[in-house]
Structure 1
Amino acid sequence: MSVTDRTIRTPQADLRLSQSSGSGMPIVMIHGSGSSRAVFARQFDSPLADAHRLIAFDLPGHGDSSDARDPAAAYTITGLAQTTARLLDALNIGHAIIFGWSLGGHVAIELASFHQAVNGLVLTGAPPVSRGPLGMLRGFHANWDMLLTSKKVYSERDIERFEAFCFGDSASPSFREAIRRTDGRLRSGVAFGMFAGKGADQKQVVENAPFPVAVINGEHDPLVRLSYFETVAYASLWEQCHVISGAGHAPFWEKPDLFNPLLSRFAETVVKQSAARPARRTEAG
């Protein structure tokens, strides 16, 4: 198995990505706010990378990707989903599993609302909330550290707090630099858009999904309300809402020995079901 890196230019940003040489159905992994594609290193360093074409990219304003050319348009859930769609199209991906973590999960849900390539959805640390403040309050814990997700300028203390919030004491030394590099305009833009109710109603998208949806969270996630996931009326929930024992907000990083087998088993389910599913029509992009 080999991993290659390349940069793809889209209308909103130049996106840096890594992909494995696996020949199975692509698994596109979308990281959270203040992170980068490096957070998925423990999936690339696993049998998943041989069995599937793993693709991880840096969102605009993150990692090795450029900042957005038009921040007002790009730094929203809808804008990030449209940029992701451009990436899929540039890579000629017609069928894929989309795995979204935290912010990346919300981008993945938005993407699934309009792009035909989504054959399966994996959500981690990303409650599919209804539009507006009430939906946000139902899906997320209300605490002071949540304010960091919308703060435009970070102090060094903010960077330390956000790192601990996302990774506890498991962070790689590079993760703090990824937080420091992030374009803070994205945090404020995404938060404003979600509270204003812009974009798809994510609860409805997940409840009506015509493809399998996997929910895999950490037992001690400080950000999301695990009980909220049980209130969603999924049409196609895979197995159950899985909870990784002893993990926090990033179980795929903290407990890959438990997370990766679930992702692999889900991918097998999607591959089996996708052949029998009628093609979906692209409604926007």
Structure 2
Amino acid sequence: MNKYVKEINGIRTEIIESRGVGTPVFIFHGNSSGASAYVDLLQSEVGDTYRLIAVSFPGHGESAYYREDVTEVTIEQLGEFTVDVVNSFGFDKYVLIGQSLGGHALLESLPAHSNAAGLVLVSSPPIALSRLGDAFLADPTDGLLFKGELSEQECARFGKAFVQTGSIDKLQELVTLIESTHPQFREQLGAGLGAGKVLDEVALLKQSDLPCLMLKGEFDRFLNSAYYDTLLNDDKIKADVITFPGAGHAIQVDLPTAFEVVVGQFIANVTSANVSKPAVASSQESQEVHVNG
């Protein structure tokens, strides 16, 4: 792996790359996480095959935060950041992976990702302001998602809400990322959401012809599983859904091997010369993956 800092619009940004030299794949994480949450994938066979590029959002991992006069953070703003990151590399073709908040950021910036070959949404179904109540369950962290300073106990409770079967070591890595996140980020993200600043991601996905794969954990404590069914019932949404039995919100932590297999297959499909849409299944159906993690 290669870890370095790249300046993106004046923000010193943490980047961790795999050693592969194939099609580039950009990975964007969720709230209070970071690029290092994808080390297993970067060090996998997929990472040896493709050029995986994991990115830490401002205020996450080892990335600097926004300037001091920023008072709120919106998903659209984070989406613009993903575009700035990708454009700074100048690739003709690439694949996008976004987990949770990172997936929503990619959805809200889809029109600007014109060179993307495919999109993987990990625990990140497209939402709209009017559909938030349908998509999300009651917050299992009791407000920690948008709280600034967190105690050691709160960071541990926050981390446990993301996983179902992940190892103690992997859980501690998540907790460490939560502890290192700039506290203003959570507060200012909450301010943006509280102001209703959410684009219609469902409409944006419908307008896109990008091959899309949605991954969901069977025991995700944040998302309403039935919401995915409403998306699949919309014939204008061209996407497949794969369920990971036994996984929570952070699928890559709970079932890293299964995650690697599914992501690797999708990347191979969408970067092949004769890719068809949808990119994984022959019809829009919810599937389950059974690979030991």
Scaled by the length of structure 1, the TM-score of the pair is: 0.87
**In structure 2, which of residues 133, 137, 149 is the aligned counterpart of residue 141 of structure 1?**
137
Aligned equivalent of 2:257: 257
**Within the alignment, does 1:150 sit opposite 2:146 as a pair?**
yes
- Pairing of 1:1-285 with structure 2 (within 5 A): 3-70=1-68, 72=70, 75-131=73-129, 134-143=130-139, 145-168=141-164, 170=166, 171-232=170-231, 233=234, 235=236, 237-238=238-239, 240-272=240-272
Per-residue Cα deviation, 1:77-109 (whole angstroms, up to 9, x for no partner) = 122121221111111123221111111111111
Distance between the aligned counterparts of 2:77 and 2:10, measured in 1? 9
Percent identical pairs in the alignment equals: 25
- Where 1:72 maps in the other structure, the secondary structure is coil
Relative distance call for 1:236 and 1:202 in structure 2 (3 A) is closer
- Measured in 2, the distance between the counterparts of 1:226 and 1:195 equals 24
CA contact (8 A) 2:97 2:103 kept: yes
Q: What is the CA deviation profile of residues 174-209 of structure 1, one whole-angstrom value per residue up to 9, with x for unaligned ones?
A: 322211111122212223323433253111112232
Change in Cα spacing, 1:73 to 1:23, as seen in structure 2 (3 Å) is farther
- Report the CA distance shift for 1:151/1:174 in structure 2 as closer, same or farther (over 3 A): same
Contact kept in structure 2, 1:73 and 1:79, CA below 8 Å: no
- Distance in 2 separating the partners of 1:87 and 1:81: 10
Query: Structure 1 residues 254, 82: closer, same or farther in 2, change over 3 A?
Result: same
Structure 1 residue aligned with 2:282: none
Shift of 1:272: 2.8
Which amino acid is the alignment partner of residue 242 of structure 1?
I
Q: Distance in 2 between matches of 1:9 and 1:106?
A: 23
Consecutive aligned runs of 4 or more in structure 1 exceeding 4 Å deviation: 273-277
3-state DSSP class of the match of 1:220?
coil
Q: Is the 8 A contact 2:146 2:187 kept in 1?
A: yes
Q: Which residue of 1 aligns with 2:291?
A: none
**Gaps spanning 5+ residues in structure 2: where?**
278-293
SS of residue paired to 1:6: strand
Q: 1:192 to 1:140 in 2, by over 3 A?
A: same
Distance in 2 (CA, whole Å) between partners of 1:106 and 1:154 is 24
- Alignment RMSD (CA, Å): 2.3
Normalising by structure 2, what TM-score? 0.85
Asked if structure 1 preserves the Cα contact closer than 8 Å seen for 2:98 and 2:120, the reply is yes
Is the CA contact (8 Å cut-off) linking 1:18 and 1:57 kept in structure 2?
yes
Indicate conservation of the 8 Å contact 1:68/1:75, yes or no.
no
Q: Is the 8 A contact 1:122 1:215 kept in 2?
A: yes
Cα 1:143–1:276 shift into 2, 3 Å: closer
Does the CA-based 8 Å contact 1:76-1:186 persist in structure 2? Answer: no
Displacement of 1:218: 0.8
